[in-house]
Amino acid sequence: MAALGAAHGPITSHDENHNSALWGGRDGPRCGWQGWGMPTIERMFDPSATAPPPRRAASPGSPGAARGGPPGWPPRVPPPEVAGWQVPAVAWLLDQCPADYRTYAAWRRHPLVLAWLTVQHLEGQLAALRTAYRGMRVDLADQVAADALTDVLEVLSAEGARLVASRRSASLVLDAMEGKVFVPRL
């Protein structure tokens, strides 16, 4: 880095000599701590560099954790009480569906229908996954090694858990779009 600094002068956050397109719109390498709290390479291990104390995220369910709806609510979707919550909800629902669904404007115009269809789609995926899990050892025992089957069954199990959580989240979004109100339990 010394050669870079010597050739172009001191490296600062305001150095206009660097190609900003290469750096994603930023001015280039920086000394010290960047605006988002990460050290730069030049001073990452420098004990004299003052850094903000590390911040630890609150554990889910702890008093400091941000609540985003009932348990199982999609993490990137604001709770239904927030104005405009349906826009990020539609984006999340489309993430759960085949990519081609994004080409149809009707899903964005009718988010309730999209939520219902997403639940149906996830239930269909779960049914197919369960069928594959049940039949894989029998149907592929002669073509695939036993350790490979074990690996694939573990992957199917993890995917099943992800799909169950996604179906739960989609069901909660559908309930909210139908006007159901969530009352937290004590």
With 60 as the cut, is the pLDDT of residue 170 above it? yes
- The answer to whether the beta carbons of residues 170 and 118 sit under 8 Å apart is yes
- End-to-end C-alpha distance for the chain, whole angstroms: 57
Q: State residue 50's pLDDT score.
A: 56
Most confident stretch, 5-14, 65-74, 115-124, 140-149: 115-124
* Judgement on whether residues 27 and 97 belong to the same structural domain of the protein: no
Mean pLDDT for all residues in the chain: 76
Mean pLDDT over 104-108 rounds to 93
For the ranges 1-5, 121-125, 152-156, the lowest mean pLDDT is seen at 1-5
Residue 60 lies in a domain: no
How many domains, the chain? 2
* Judgement on whether residues 51 and 90 belong to the same structural domain of the protein: no
What is the CA angle 51-57-63, rounded to 5?
A: 130
Residue 65 region by backbone torsions, left for phi larger than 0, else alpha for psi between -120 and 50, else beta: beta
* Judgement on whether residues 47 and 126 belong to the same structural domain of the protein: no
Q: Which residue has the higher pLDDT, 149 or 22?
A: 149
Token pair recorded at residue 125: 């995926």
Q: State residue 143's pLDDT score.
A: 92
From 41, 68, 38, 42, select the one nearest 55 (Cα to Cα).
38
Residue 104: DSSP 8-state: -
pTM attached to this predicted model: 0.62
